[in-house]
Structures are given as structure tokens and as C-alpha cells.
Amino acid sequence: MDHEQAFELLPGYLDQELSLSEALEFERHLAGCEQCQQVYAQHRQVSAQLRQADLRVEAPAELVKRIKAALPGRPSLWQRLVELFGWRRGGGSLGWAPVGAMVMSVVALTWSAGLYLSVPSSETRLSQELVDNHIRSLQFNHLSDVISTDRHTVKPWFDGKLDFAPPVVDLAQQGYPLVGGRLDYLNGRPVAVMVYRYKLHPINLYVWPGDDAGATPHIYQQQGYHLAHWSAAGMNYWAITDAGGMELNGFISDLRAHPAS
């Protein structure tokens, strides 16, 4: 660091505005430069004198009052709206004021409606959260906490880990074998996930208590995945897979037809 760079950094160093690396570099230069040490000492002395209380002068109250009175007043919001839409007090007529007020009301209502409509619904947020969760389970190879094709192994694994007992169904004979289960967090609460397969396609089945989804499954597509949700026997069900819609529909039909579901 040369003298010119040190002089540029000196005010910031005095005011403690330099980054850690800049301050260290400045101090290293200062330790070996007598000229910069003298300048630094002079600046510190001036800064100390400027901070002395007796250098500060309070303006007289009458002067403050006159200055404030001379400043132009800031018009109120209503005054600005009146001027914007051409209403003058001396005109003897309201002119454009009612129209202006109506326009402003429409703008405000439109803006409020736009904000309301731009907020995604709870179902939209949940479906996006579910897609993200499904993708993470595939990327990090975390499809299952318990790996088993036996529902009598998977179902007891959830005991003590959830405040409900999820139904676990074996659909191997229907072409959708159970391969395991896991705990996950969805919709602000812990949920059970049963993992099935259709050929090479994993199917995540999310289950938690509630009956707010509707009895009839509705299959739709999002980000290349097929999803469906429904409710039965006091449980919410969400299923997601990268298999086709017909395959997911077959899985749901077989699952709902099973007496244990």
C-alpha cells in the first residue's frame, strides 16, 4: 500500500468504516510509515476537537421558528389528489373531483384484488411443497427410512413416531409392491410416507389425519409428475409419481378397494 492509497483509507479508518482486511492492510502500512503516522495523528486530533461539546451551537428558538415558517409546507394527500384531478377551491364547482376520487377508488380496489389473486391458494402451496419433497427424496436417495415389502414390518415402524397410525397396504399382486416407508414433514406437520413402485417408477403416498380434501381423487400433472389427493376414513392422502396418469389411477383404485385402506 502506498501513501496515496493510505490517505484515501484514512477517513474510513478513523470512522471505523473499513472492512477487516482493509483495516489490517492500513495498520500494516501505518506501522512502517512515519509520514502517515504524523498525518494520522493530526486527523485524530482534529476529529477529537470537532467532537467537543463546546463547539456545538444551538440555534435560538426564534431562529428555528422563522426557518420552519419560511419552508414550503408539504400538502396533504387529499390536497395532492385535488390538484391532480383539477379541482380548485375558487371555481365554485367540484369539477373533476368526484371522477378523481372514483378513479382512485377503482385503482385501490384493483390493486387490492391483484394482491389477493397473486397469493397462491393453500392447495397450490401444498401441491408445490409435495412436488419439492418428492424430488428431494429422489435426489438424496431418501425414499425410505424402513425398507421392507412386508406391511407388518412397515406399519409397526411408525409406532411412537407419529400421533396417528397410518394404514399400510400391500399391493404387490396388483403390480404396485410396497418397498418401504419414511417419516417426513409436510403441510406444517409430520406425515407418514409409504413408498410403492410401479415397475421402475417410485410412488410416494403421503398420509396424515384430516378430511378436507374431498372423497373423489383428482389426478393432475405438475412439473412432469402426476399427483392426486383425496380423503377417506379421517385421513388425507396425497400420491405422486413420475409414472403416467393411468398408472397412478390404477394404483389409487387398487388402494381404495383394499379393505385395510
Q: What is the C-alpha to C-alpha distance for residues 36 and 29, in angstroms, rounded to an integer?
A: 8
244 phi and psi angles, rounded to 5 deg: -75, 170
φ, ψ (nearest 5 deg) of residue 167: -75, 135
Does residue 261 surpass a pLDDT of 60? no
Predicted confidence (pLDDT) per residue in 13-64, tens digit: 777 777 767 777 877 887 888 888 888 888 777 776 666 656 666 778 887 7
Which helix (H) or strand (E) element contains residue 111? helix 97-118
> What local confidence, expressed as pLDDT, does residue 195 receive?
94
Higher pLDDT, 75 or 258: 258
Q: What is the pLDDT of residues 66-110, one digit of tens each?
A: 887 787 766 666 666 556 555 555 454 445 555 555 556 656 666
* Alpha-carbon distances, residue 220 vs 43, 125, 147, 175, 217 (angstroms): 71, 15, 29, 22, 10
| Domains located in the chain, CATH noted | 3-54 (1.10.10), 77-118 (no CATH), 122-257 (3.30.200.100)
Q: Judge contact between 191 and 226, C-beta under 8 A.
A: no
By the 8 A CB rule, do 183 and 161 touch?
A: yes
Using the structure block, give the residue that is written with the C-alpha cell 365554485.
92
Q: How confident is the model at residue 228 (pLDDT cuts 50, 70, 90)?
A: very high
3-state secondary structure of 23: helix
Residue 116: band (very low, low, confident or very high) from pLDDT cuts 50, 70, 90:
very low
Quote the distance between the C-alpha of residue 108 and its chain's center. Answer: 26
**Mean pLDDT for all residues in the chain:** 79
d(CA 80, CA 101): 12
